[in-house]
Structure 1
Amino acid sequence: MFSFKIAGGILPSLYIAFSALVDAAPLCPKTINTAGGGLPNTTLPAAVSEGGIKEIQLAQFLENLEVSFFTAGSANITKWGTNGYSNDSIEIVSKIAAVPLIPPCNYSFPVASTKEFFQLAHLIGSAGIGATIGLSDRLATTDPMLTRLVSSILTVESRHDTFFRHVQGDVPNPAPFDTGINDI
Protein backbone atom coordinates (compact mmCIF):
# COMPACT_ATOMS: atom_id res chain seq x y z
CA MET A 1 0.00 0.00 0.00
CA PHE A 2 2.86 2.39 0.76
CA SER A 3 5.65 3.21 -1.67
CA PHE A 4 9.00 3.92 -0.01
CA LYS A 5 12.08 5.69 -1.34
CA ILE A 6 15.30 5.23 0.60
CA ALA A 7 17.99 7.91 0.36
CA GLY A 8 21.70 7.09 0.73
CA GLY A 9 23.90 7.58 3.79
CA ILE A 10 24.88 5.59 6.85
CA LEU A 11 21.42 5.99 8.37
CA PRO A 12 19.20 6.28 5.32
CA SER A 13 16.25 8.62 5.45
CA LEU A 14 12.97 6.88 4.76
CA TYR A 15 10.39 8.73 2.72
CA ILE A 16 6.87 7.77 1.80
CA ALA A 17 5.65 8.83 -1.63
CA PHE A 18 2.09 9.98 -1.08
CA SER A 19 1.30 10.38 -4.75
CA ALA A 20 1.94 6.66 -5.26
CA LEU A 21 -0.22 5.88 -2.22
CA VAL A 22 -3.17 7.88 -3.50
CA ASP A 23 -2.82 6.49 -7.04
CA ALA A 24 -2.46 2.91 -5.79
CA ALA A 25 -5.23 2.96 -3.19
CA PRO A 26 -8.15 5.16 -4.22
CA LEU A 27 -11.25 4.86 -2.11
CA CYS A 28 -13.95 2.75 -3.70
CA PRO A 29 -17.41 4.31 -4.22
CA LYS A 30 -18.97 2.05 -1.56
CA THR A 31 -16.47 3.26 1.08
CA ILE A 32 -16.98 6.89 0.08
CA ASN A 33 -20.76 6.45 0.28
CA THR A 34 -20.71 4.63 3.63
CA ALA A 35 -18.16 6.98 5.23
CA GLY A 36 -19.96 10.06 3.95
CA GLY A 37 -17.14 11.37 1.75
CA GLY A 38 -13.73 10.79 0.27
CA LEU A 39 -10.20 12.06 0.75
CA PRO A 40 -9.68 15.70 1.75
CA ASN A 41 -9.01 18.24 -0.96
CA THR A 42 -5.42 19.11 -0.03
CA THR A 43 -2.02 18.98 -1.64
CA LEU A 44 -0.01 16.02 -0.44
CA PRO A 45 3.77 16.34 -0.10
CA ALA A 46 6.02 14.37 -2.43
CA ALA A 47 7.97 12.98 0.54
CA VAL A 48 7.73 12.75 4.32
CA SER A 49 10.59 12.75 6.82
CA GLU A 50 11.56 9.66 8.80
CA GLY A 51 10.03 11.22 11.93
CA GLY A 52 6.88 12.02 9.97
CA ILE A 53 6.60 8.38 8.88
CA LYS A 54 6.77 7.26 12.52
CA GLU A 55 4.05 9.76 13.38
CA ILE A 56 1.86 8.51 10.52
CA GLN A 57 2.44 4.92 11.64
CA LEU A 58 1.22 5.88 15.12
CA ALA A 59 -1.83 7.55 13.62
CA GLN A 60 -2.49 4.42 11.53
CA PHE A 61 -2.22 2.25 14.66
CA LEU A 62 -4.80 4.43 16.43
CA GLU A 63 -7.05 4.41 13.36
CA ASN A 64 -6.81 0.60 13.16
CA LEU A 65 -7.83 0.38 16.83
CA GLU A 66 -10.79 2.69 16.28
CA VAL A 67 -12.04 1.04 13.09
CA SER A 68 -11.75 -2.42 14.64
CA PHE A 69 -13.68 -1.23 17.69
CA PHE A 70 -16.41 0.46 15.63
CA THR A 71 -16.74 -2.47 13.22
CA ALA A 72 -17.27 -4.88 16.13
CA GLY A 73 -19.53 -2.35 17.86
CA SER A 74 -21.68 -1.86 14.80
CA ALA A 75 -22.42 -5.58 14.68
CA ASN A 76 -22.96 -5.83 18.44
CA ILE A 77 -25.23 -2.78 18.74
CA THR A 78 -27.55 -4.47 16.26
CA LYS A 79 -27.82 -7.38 18.76
CA TRP A 80 -27.84 -5.26 21.93
CA GLY A 81 -30.37 -2.76 20.63
CA THR A 82 -30.51 1.01 20.74
CA ASN A 83 -33.08 1.57 23.49
CA GLY A 84 -32.44 5.05 24.85
CA TYR A 85 -30.14 5.98 21.97
CA SER A 86 -30.98 7.85 18.79
CA ASN A 87 -32.29 5.77 15.89
CA ASP A 88 -29.35 6.72 13.70
CA SER A 89 -26.71 5.45 16.19
CA ILE A 90 -25.95 2.31 14.16
CA GLU A 91 -25.67 4.34 10.94
CA ILE A 92 -23.23 6.82 12.53
CA VAL A 93 -21.08 4.04 14.01
CA SER A 94 -21.05 2.33 10.58
CA LYS A 95 -19.79 5.55 8.95
CA ILE A 96 -16.92 5.70 11.44
CA ALA A 97 -16.05 2.05 10.76
CA ALA A 98 -16.00 2.50 6.95
CA VAL A 99 -12.35 3.59 6.63
CA PRO A 100 -10.27 1.00 4.73
CA LEU A 101 -7.22 -0.20 6.63
CA ILE A 102 -3.96 -1.94 6.39
CA PRO A 103 -4.36 -5.23 8.29
CA PRO A 104 -4.95 -4.37 11.96
CA CYS A 105 -3.94 -6.15 15.14
CA ASN A 106 -6.43 -8.43 16.83
CA TYR A 107 -8.30 -6.62 19.57
CA SER A 108 -10.64 -7.69 22.33
CA PHE A 109 -12.92 -4.94 23.64
CA PRO A 110 -14.48 -5.43 27.10
CA VAL A 111 -18.00 -4.28 26.24
CA ALA A 112 -21.25 -6.20 26.62
CA SER A 113 -23.87 -3.52 25.98
CA THR A 114 -24.58 -0.45 23.89
CA LYS A 115 -23.97 1.72 26.97
CA GLU A 116 -20.53 0.18 27.58
CA PHE A 117 -19.76 0.52 23.87
CA PHE A 118 -20.45 4.28 23.86
CA GLN A 119 -18.52 4.77 27.13
CA LEU A 120 -15.44 3.06 25.68
CA ALA A 121 -15.94 4.84 22.34
CA HIS A 122 -15.67 8.16 24.19
CA LEU A 123 -12.44 7.07 25.92
CA ILE A 124 -10.90 5.86 22.66
CA GLY A 125 -12.06 9.03 20.89
CA SER A 126 -10.66 11.32 23.57
CA ALA A 127 -7.29 9.57 23.46
CA GLY A 128 -7.32 9.83 19.66
CA ILE A 129 -8.03 13.57 19.82
CA GLY A 130 -5.17 14.14 22.25
CA ALA A 131 -2.81 12.05 20.12
CA THR A 132 -3.86 13.87 16.93
CA ILE A 133 -3.26 17.30 18.54
CA GLY A 134 0.24 16.14 19.49
CA LEU A 135 0.76 14.64 16.04
CA SER A 136 -0.19 17.92 14.37
CA ASP A 137 2.18 19.84 16.63
CA ARG A 138 5.11 17.51 15.92
CA LEU A 139 4.46 17.39 12.16
CA ALA A 140 4.31 21.21 12.03
CA THR A 141 8.06 21.13 12.65
CA THR A 142 9.13 18.13 10.56
CA ASP A 143 6.50 17.98 7.80
CA PRO A 144 4.43 21.18 7.73
CA MET A 145 2.60 20.20 4.52
CA LEU A 146 0.88 17.44 6.51
CA THR A 147 -0.61 19.69 9.18
CA ARG A 148 -3.64 20.61 7.06
CA LEU A 149 -4.39 16.92 6.45
CA VAL A 150 -4.00 16.12 10.15
CA SER A 151 -6.23 19.08 11.04
CA SER A 152 -8.96 17.61 8.86
CA ILE A 153 -8.64 14.32 10.78
CA LEU A 154 -8.79 16.17 14.11
CA THR A 155 -12.08 17.84 13.30
CA VAL A 156 -13.68 14.53 12.32
CA GLU A 157 -12.37 12.78 15.46
CA SER A 158 -13.82 15.62 17.54
CA ARG A 159 -17.23 15.26 15.88
CA HIS A 160 -17.19 11.54 16.59
CA ASP A 161 -16.44 12.15 20.26
CA THR A 162 -19.16 14.83 20.45
CA PHE A 163 -21.65 12.24 19.21
CA PHE A 164 -20.48 9.66 21.78
CA ARG A 165 -20.84 12.18 24.60
CA HIS A 166 -24.24 13.33 23.32
CA VAL A 167 -25.78 9.84 23.12
CA GLN A 168 -24.69 9.24 26.72
CA GLY A 169 -26.39 12.43 27.88
CA ASP A 170 -23.08 14.20 28.57
CA VAL A 171 -22.17 17.73 27.56
CA PRO A 172 -20.85 17.50 23.97
CA ASN A 173 -17.93 19.86 24.70
CA PRO A 174 -16.75 19.29 28.28
CA ALA A 175 -13.98 21.92 28.18
CA PRO A 176 -13.03 24.93 26.06
CA PHE A 177 -9.76 23.25 24.98
CA ASP A 178 -8.59 19.68 24.37
CA THR A 179 -5.24 18.58 25.73
CA GLY A 180 -2.69 17.24 23.30
CA ILE A 181 -0.52 14.23 24.00
CA ASN A 182 2.92 15.60 23.23
CA ASP A 183 5.31 12.70 23.61
CA ILE A 184 4.18 9.34 22.37
Structure 2
Amino acid sequence: MPSIMKIAGAVAGFAAVACALPAQPKLTSRQNHIYSLAKRQNAAAAALGLADVDILQFALTLEWLEASFYQQGFAQFGDDQFLALGLNEVQLADLKGIGASENAHVGFLQSSIAQAGVQPVQPCQYNFGFTDAAGMVATASVLESVGVSAYLGAAPLVSDAKILSAAGSILTIEARHQSFIRVASGVAASPSPFDTPLGPKAVFSLAAPFITSCPAGSNLILTAFPTLKLTSPAPAAGVMALAQGTMLSFESEAASGAAFCGFTNSAAPGGTAFSPFDPAQGCALAPNLAGTVYVTLTSAAPTDGVLTDDITVAGPMVMNLS
Protein backbone atom coordinates (compact mmCIF):
# COMPACT_ATOMS: atom_id res chain seq x y z
CA MET A 1 0.00 0.00 0.00
CA PRO A 2 0.98 3.50 -0.34
CA SER A 3 2.87 5.62 2.23
CA ILE A 4 2.11 9.24 3.01
CA MET A 5 4.07 12.35 3.76
CA LYS A 6 7.49 13.11 2.18
CA ILE A 7 9.53 15.82 0.33
CA ALA A 8 7.24 18.79 0.76
CA GLY A 9 8.44 18.87 4.36
CA ALA A 10 11.86 19.92 3.15
CA VAL A 11 10.36 22.32 0.63
CA ALA A 12 8.09 23.85 3.26
CA GLY A 13 10.98 24.24 5.68
CA PHE A 14 13.14 25.78 2.98
CA ALA A 15 10.34 28.20 2.12
CA ALA A 16 10.05 29.25 5.75
CA VAL A 17 13.80 29.87 6.00
CA ALA A 18 13.76 31.86 2.77
CA CYS A 19 11.04 34.12 4.17
CA ALA A 20 12.66 34.53 7.56
CA LEU A 21 16.06 35.39 6.13
CA PRO A 22 15.51 37.75 3.21
CA ALA A 23 19.23 38.20 2.76
CA GLN A 24 19.55 34.55 1.77
CA PRO A 25 18.92 33.26 -1.77
CA LYS A 26 15.24 33.05 -2.62
CA LEU A 27 13.44 29.95 -3.87
CA THR A 28 13.55 29.62 -7.61
CA SER A 29 10.30 30.01 -9.51
CA ARG A 30 10.25 26.26 -10.07
CA GLN A 31 10.69 25.51 -6.36
CA ASN A 32 7.91 27.93 -5.51
CA HIS A 33 5.75 26.20 -8.12
CA ILE A 34 6.22 22.80 -6.47
CA TYR A 35 5.52 24.19 -2.99
CA SER A 36 2.38 26.01 -4.17
CA LEU A 37 1.21 22.93 -6.03
CA ALA A 38 1.46 20.82 -2.89
CA LYS A 39 -0.60 23.34 -0.93
CA ARG A 40 -3.27 23.99 -3.56
CA GLN A 41 -3.86 20.36 -4.42
CA ASN A 42 -4.55 19.66 -0.76
CA ALA A 43 -7.13 22.42 -0.26
CA ALA A 44 -9.97 19.93 -0.53
CA ALA A 45 -8.18 17.50 1.79
CA ALA A 46 -7.74 20.24 4.38
CA ALA A 47 -11.47 20.88 4.16
CA LEU A 48 -12.02 17.30 5.32
CA GLY A 49 -10.80 18.41 8.73
CA LEU A 50 -7.84 16.04 8.91
CA ALA A 51 -5.85 16.62 12.10
CA ASP A 52 -2.20 15.66 12.50
CA VAL A 53 -3.13 12.34 14.12
CA ASP A 54 -5.43 11.56 11.18
CA ILE A 55 -2.51 12.14 8.83
CA LEU A 56 -0.38 9.80 10.95
CA GLN A 57 -3.12 7.15 10.86
CA PHE A 58 -3.28 7.50 7.10
CA ALA A 59 0.49 7.15 6.89
CA LEU A 60 0.36 4.07 9.10
CA THR A 61 -2.33 2.55 6.88
CA LEU A 62 -0.04 2.94 3.90
CA GLU A 63 3.04 1.68 5.72
CA TRP A 64 1.11 -1.39 6.89
CA LEU A 65 0.22 -2.03 3.26
CA GLU A 66 3.83 -1.69 2.08
CA ALA A 67 5.23 -3.80 4.93
CA SER A 68 2.67 -6.53 4.26
CA PHE A 69 3.40 -6.36 0.54
CA TYR A 70 7.09 -7.13 0.98
CA GLN A 71 6.44 -9.73 3.68
CA GLN A 72 4.01 -11.65 1.47
CA GLY A 73 6.18 -11.34 -1.61
CA PHE A 74 9.37 -12.62 0.01
CA ALA A 75 7.43 -15.45 1.65
CA GLN A 76 5.92 -16.47 -1.69
CA PHE A 77 8.96 -16.18 -3.98
CA GLY A 78 12.42 -17.63 -3.37
CA ASP A 79 15.72 -15.83 -3.84
CA ASP A 80 16.33 -17.74 -7.06
CA GLN A 81 13.29 -16.11 -8.68
CA PHE A 82 14.61 -12.61 -7.95
CA LEU A 83 18.11 -13.51 -9.09
CA ALA A 84 16.60 -14.86 -12.31
CA LEU A 85 15.33 -11.32 -13.01
CA GLY A 86 18.95 -10.16 -13.26
CA LEU A 87 19.41 -8.93 -9.70
CA ASN A 88 22.74 -9.68 -8.10
CA GLU A 89 23.20 -10.72 -4.47
CA VAL A 90 23.75 -7.14 -3.29
CA GLN A 91 20.64 -5.90 -5.05
CA LEU A 92 18.60 -8.75 -3.61
CA ALA A 93 19.78 -7.80 -0.13
CA ASP A 94 18.82 -4.19 -0.83
CA LEU A 95 15.36 -5.26 -2.00
CA LYS A 96 14.83 -7.22 1.20
CA GLY A 97 16.11 -4.24 3.14
CA ILE A 98 13.21 -2.19 1.79
CA GLY A 99 10.81 -4.54 3.53
CA ALA A 100 12.72 -4.10 6.78
CA SER A 101 12.54 -0.31 6.40
CA GLU A 102 8.76 -0.45 5.95
CA ASN A 103 8.45 -2.48 9.15
CA ALA A 104 10.51 0.15 10.96
CA HIS A 105 8.21 2.87 9.63
CA VAL A 106 5.21 0.97 10.98
CA GLY A 107 6.75 0.77 14.44
CA PHE A 108 7.68 4.44 14.44
CA LEU A 109 4.18 5.58 13.42
CA GLN A 110 2.50 3.25 15.91
CA SER A 111 4.56 4.78 18.71
CA SER A 112 3.85 8.35 17.59
CA ILE A 113 0.10 7.76 17.41
CA ALA A 114 0.00 5.94 20.76
CA GLN A 115 1.89 8.82 22.40
CA ALA A 116 -0.88 11.11 21.17
CA GLY A 117 -3.36 9.01 23.15
CA VAL A 118 -4.94 7.39 20.09
CA GLN A 119 -5.25 3.72 19.19
CA PRO A 120 -3.15 3.05 16.05
CA VAL A 121 -4.90 1.43 13.11
CA GLN A 122 -4.22 -2.26 12.60
CA PRO A 123 -3.12 -4.02 9.39
CA CYS A 124 -5.82 -4.97 6.91
CA GLN A 125 -6.24 -8.02 4.71
CA TYR A 126 -4.67 -7.50 1.29
CA ASN A 127 -4.67 -8.97 -2.20
CA PHE A 128 -1.68 -7.72 -4.18
CA GLY A 129 -2.37 -9.89 -7.20
CA PHE A 130 1.24 -10.79 -7.99
CA THR A 131 1.91 -14.28 -9.33
CA ASP A 132 5.68 -14.13 -9.81
CA ALA A 133 8.72 -12.18 -8.66
CA ALA A 134 8.65 -9.96 -11.75
CA GLY A 135 5.08 -8.93 -10.99
CA MET A 136 6.01 -8.18 -7.40
CA VAL A 137 8.89 -5.91 -8.41
CA ALA A 138 6.67 -4.10 -10.93
CA THR A 139 4.03 -3.49 -8.25
CA ALA A 140 6.73 -2.38 -5.80
CA SER A 141 7.76 0.34 -8.25
CA VAL A 142 4.20 1.66 -8.30
CA LEU A 143 3.77 1.50 -4.52
CA GLU A 144 7.01 3.34 -3.81
CA SER A 145 6.14 6.09 -6.31
CA VAL A 146 2.74 6.52 -4.70
CA GLY A 147 4.38 6.58 -1.29
CA VAL A 148 6.61 9.49 -2.28
CA SER A 149 3.65 11.41 -3.70
CA ALA A 150 1.57 10.66 -0.60
CA TYR A 151 4.07 12.02 1.91
CA LEU A 152 4.80 14.99 -0.31
CA GLY A 153 1.12 15.81 -0.67
CA ALA A 154 0.31 15.38 3.02
CA ALA A 155 3.12 17.59 4.31
CA PRO A 156 1.24 20.91 3.87
CA LEU A 157 -1.58 19.50 6.02
CA VAL A 158 0.67 18.87 9.03
CA SER A 159 0.78 21.63 11.64
CA ASP A 160 3.30 20.14 14.09
CA ALA A 161 6.88 20.85 12.97
CA LYS A 162 8.22 17.77 14.78
CA ILE A 163 5.79 15.50 12.94
CA LEU A 164 6.66 17.19 9.67
CA SER A 165 10.37 16.62 10.26
CA ALA A 166 9.78 12.97 11.17
CA ALA A 167 7.65 12.48 8.06
CA GLY A 168 10.39 14.05 5.96
CA SER A 169 12.86 11.51 7.31
CA ILE A 170 10.56 8.74 6.05
CA LEU A 171 10.02 10.47 2.72
CA THR A 172 13.70 10.53 1.86
CA ILE A 173 13.92 6.79 2.51
CA GLU A 174 10.85 6.09 0.37
CA ALA A 175 12.47 8.09 -2.42
CA ARG A 176 15.59 5.92 -2.15
CA HIS A 177 13.40 2.83 -2.34
CA GLN A 178 11.78 4.18 -5.48
CA SER A 179 15.12 4.94 -7.14
CA PHE A 180 16.61 1.55 -6.26
CA ILE A 181 13.66 -0.38 -7.67
CA ARG A 182 13.75 1.68 -10.86
CA VAL A 183 17.46 0.99 -11.33
CA ALA A 184 16.99 -2.70 -10.53
CA SER A 185 14.22 -2.78 -13.14
CA GLY A 186 16.54 -1.30 -15.77
CA VAL A 187 14.87 2.10 -16.13
CA ALA A 188 15.99 5.65 -15.32
CA ALA A 189 16.44 6.21 -11.60
CA SER A 190 15.26 9.82 -11.71
CA PRO A 191 13.16 10.50 -14.83
CA SER A 192 11.94 13.89 -13.63
CA PRO A 193 13.64 16.70 -11.68
CA PHE A 194 10.69 16.98 -9.28
CA ASP A 195 8.25 14.62 -7.58
CA THR A 196 4.48 14.98 -7.74
CA PRO A 197 2.30 15.52 -4.64
CA LEU A 198 -1.07 13.81 -4.26
CA GLY A 199 -3.87 14.53 -1.81
CA PRO A 200 -5.00 11.91 0.74
CA LYS A 201 -8.16 10.85 -1.12
CA ALA A 202 -6.25 10.28 -4.36
CA VAL A 203 -3.61 8.25 -2.54
CA PHE A 204 -6.24 6.18 -0.74
CA SER A 205 -7.90 5.51 -4.09
CA LEU A 206 -4.63 4.05 -5.38
CA ALA A 207 -4.26 1.89 -2.27
CA ALA A 208 -7.89 0.73 -1.91
CA PRO A 209 -7.82 -1.92 -4.69
CA PHE A 210 -5.20 -3.85 -2.70
CA ILE A 211 -7.35 -3.90 0.49
CA THR A 212 -9.94 -6.63 0.91
CA SER A 213 -11.02 -5.84 4.49
CA CYS A 214 -9.88 -4.00 7.62
CA PRO A 215 -10.41 -4.71 11.34
CA ALA A 216 -13.15 -2.81 13.15
CA GLY A 217 -11.90 0.64 14.09
CA SER A 218 -9.17 0.65 11.47
CA ASN A 219 -11.16 2.06 8.56
CA LEU A 220 -10.18 5.58 7.46
CA ILE A 221 -12.72 8.39 7.10
CA LEU A 222 -11.79 8.58 3.41
CA THR A 223 -13.66 6.88 0.59
CA ALA A 224 -12.01 5.94 -2.69
CA PHE A 225 -12.88 7.36 -6.10
CA PRO A 226 -14.18 4.86 -8.68
CA THR A 227 -11.35 2.84 -10.20
CA LEU A 228 -9.82 3.61 -13.58
CA LYS A 229 -8.16 1.06 -15.87
CA LEU A 230 -6.17 1.62 -19.05
CA THR A 231 -7.41 -0.65 -21.86
CA SER A 232 -5.48 0.72 -24.86
CA PRO A 233 -2.58 0.80 -25.48
CA ALA A 234 -2.11 -2.43 -23.57
CA PRO A 235 -0.92 -1.66 -20.03
CA ALA A 236 2.73 -2.46 -19.37
CA ALA A 237 4.28 -3.45 -16.05
CA GLY A 238 7.30 -1.23 -16.65
CA VAL A 239 7.93 2.03 -18.44
CA MET A 240 5.74 2.87 -21.43
CA ALA A 241 7.19 4.76 -24.39
CA LEU A 242 4.21 6.75 -25.68
CA ALA A 243 4.30 9.79 -27.94
CA GLN A 244 2.32 12.87 -27.01
CA GLY A 245 -1.09 12.75 -28.60
CA THR A 246 -1.34 8.96 -28.35
CA MET A 247 -5.00 8.04 -27.90
CA LEU A 248 -5.68 6.33 -24.59
CA SER A 249 -8.78 4.28 -23.82
CA PHE A 250 -10.00 3.66 -20.28
CA GLU A 251 -12.52 1.57 -18.44
CA SER A 252 -14.43 2.88 -15.41
CA GLU A 253 -17.95 2.60 -14.06
CA ALA A 254 -17.93 6.39 -13.79
CA ALA A 255 -16.65 7.12 -17.32
CA SER A 256 -20.00 8.46 -18.54
CA GLY A 257 -19.74 11.38 -16.12
CA ALA A 258 -16.29 12.48 -17.29
CA ALA A 259 -15.40 15.17 -19.82
CA PHE A 260 -11.60 15.28 -19.50
CA CYS A 261 -8.55 13.21 -18.69
CA GLY A 262 -6.24 14.76 -16.13
CA PHE A 263 -2.50 13.95 -16.26
CA THR A 264 -0.93 14.90 -12.92
CA ASN A 265 2.84 15.25 -13.12
CA SER A 266 5.38 17.75 -11.80
CA ALA A 267 6.15 18.77 -15.41
CA ALA A 268 2.56 19.86 -16.07
CA PRO A 269 1.83 23.60 -15.61
CA GLY A 270 -0.20 23.97 -12.43
CA GLY A 271 0.29 20.29 -11.68
CA THR A 272 -2.20 18.68 -14.06
CA ALA A 273 -2.58 18.80 -17.84
CA PHE A 274 -6.06 18.13 -19.21
CA SER A 275 -7.23 16.54 -22.45
CA PRO A 276 -10.84 16.21 -23.71
CA PHE A 277 -12.33 12.78 -22.97
CA ASP A 278 -14.99 10.80 -24.78
CA PRO A 279 -16.13 7.47 -23.26
CA ALA A 280 -16.04 5.83 -26.71
CA GLN A 281 -12.83 7.40 -28.06
CA GLY A 282 -10.81 8.04 -24.92
CA CYS A 283 -8.39 10.98 -24.75
CA ALA A 284 -5.02 12.09 -26.12
CA LEU A 285 -1.89 11.88 -23.99
CA ALA A 286 -0.85 15.38 -22.96
CA PRO A 287 2.62 16.61 -24.03
CA ASN A 288 5.86 16.96 -22.05
CA LEU A 289 5.17 14.27 -19.45
CA ALA A 290 7.83 11.93 -18.04
CA GLY A 291 8.24 9.57 -15.13
CA THR A 292 5.32 8.79 -12.84
CA VAL A 293 2.05 10.23 -14.17
CA TYR A 294 -1.25 9.95 -12.31
CA VAL A 295 -4.25 9.77 -14.65
CA THR A 296 -7.78 10.70 -13.60
CA LEU A 297 -11.10 11.29 -15.31
CA THR A 298 -12.53 14.68 -14.44
CA SER A 299 -15.66 16.75 -14.97
CA ALA A 300 -13.77 19.98 -15.66
CA ALA A 301 -10.40 21.26 -16.86
CA PRO A 302 -9.33 24.26 -14.75
CA THR A 303 -7.08 26.64 -16.65
CA ASP A 304 -4.74 26.90 -13.64
CA GLY A 305 -4.04 23.16 -13.85
CA VAL A 306 -5.10 22.46 -10.27
CA LEU A 307 -6.88 19.13 -9.83
CA THR A 308 -9.27 18.98 -6.86
CA ASP A 309 -11.41 16.23 -5.38
CA ASP A 310 -14.67 17.91 -6.37
CA ILE A 311 -13.96 17.56 -10.11
CA THR A 312 -12.40 14.09 -9.92
CA VAL A 313 -14.71 11.45 -11.42
CA ALA A 314 -12.51 8.34 -11.38
CA GLY A 315 -8.94 7.28 -10.67
CA PRO A 316 -6.16 7.99 -10.32
CA MET A 317 -4.21 5.23 -12.01
CA VAL A 318 -0.44 5.18 -12.47
CA MET A 319 1.44 5.35 -15.77
CA ASN A 320 5.23 5.26 -15.93
CA LEU A 321 6.39 7.12 -19.03
CA SER A 322 9.87 7.21 -20.53
Do the structures match in fold with TM over 0.5?
Answer: yes
Instruction: Say if 2:67 is the partner of 1:67.
Output: yes
Q: Does the CA contact (< 8 Å) of 2:82 and 2:92 recur in 1? A: no
Instruction: Say if 2:110 is the partner of 1:126.
Output: no
TM-score if structure 1 supplies the norm length? 0.66
Q: Does the CA contact (< 8 Å) of 1:82 and 1:114 recur in 2? A: no
Instruction: Say if 2:112 is the partner of 1:93.
Output: no
Distance (whole Å) between structure 1 residues aligned to residue 75 and residue 89 of structure 2: 15
CA 1:119–1:175: 2 relative to 1, 3 Å: same
- Structure 1, 68-77 or 145-154: larger mean CA deviation: 68-77
Alignment of 1:3-152 (within 5 A): 51-78=51-78, 80-83=81-84, 84-98=86-100, 99=103, 101=106, 103-139=122-158, 142-152=159-169
Distance (whole Å) between structure 2 residues aligned to residue 104 and residue 58 of structure 1: 12
Please tell me the residue identity of whatever aligns with 2:93: E
Displacement after TM superposition at 1:50 (Å): 6.7
CA 1:164–1:81: 2 relative to 1, 3 Å: closer
Q: Does the CA contact (< 8 Å) of 1:129 and 1:154 recur in 2? A: yes
**Secondary structure, in 3 states, of the residue corresponding to 1:147?**
helix
Deviations 1:20-62 (A, max 9, x none): xxxxxxxxxxxxxxxxxxxxxxxxxxxxx97000000000000
Q: Does the CA contact (< 8 Å) of 2:66 and 2:143 recur in 1? A: yes
Displacement after TM superposition at 1:88 (Å): 2.8
Q: Where in structure 2 are there 5+ consecutive unaligned residues?
A: 1-48, 111-121, 202-322
More strand by share: 2
Instruction: Say if 2:197 is the partner of 1:174.
Output: no
Q: Does the CA contact (< 8 Å) of 1:165 and 1:171 recur in 2? A: yes
CA 1:81–1:154: 2 relative to 1, 3 Å: closer
**Secondary structure, in 3 states, of the residue corresponding to 2:89?**
coil
- For these two proteins, the number of residue pairs brought into alignment is 134
Percentage of matched positions with identical amino acids:
28
Deviations 1:86-105 (A, max 9, x none): 22343223322221546411
Query: Aligned Cα RMSD in Å?
Result: 2.0
Please tell me the residue identity of whatever aligns with 1:176: P
Q: Does the CA contact (< 8 Å) of 1:131 and 1:181 recur in 2? A: yes
Distance (whole Å) between structure 1 residues aligned to residue 124 and residue 199 of structure 2: 24
Distance (whole Å) between structure 1 residues aligned to residue 156 and residue 182 of structure 2: 26
**Secondary structure, in 3 states, of the residue corresponding to 1:97?**
helix
Rg larger in structure: 2
Displacement after TM superposition at 1:138 (Å): 1.4
Distance (whole Å) between structure 2 residues aligned to residue 67 and residue 86 of structure 1: 23
TM-score if structure 2 supplies the norm length? 0.39
Please tell me the residue identity of whatever aligns with 2:162: M
Please tell me the residue identity of whatever aligns with 2:55: E
Displacement after TM superposition at 1:107 (Å): 0.8
More helix by share: 1
CA 1:93–1:86: 2 relative to 1, 3 Å: same
CA 1:183–1:94: 2 relative to 1, 3 Å: closer
Distance (whole Å) between structure 1 residues aligned to residue 200 and residue 71 of structure 2: 29
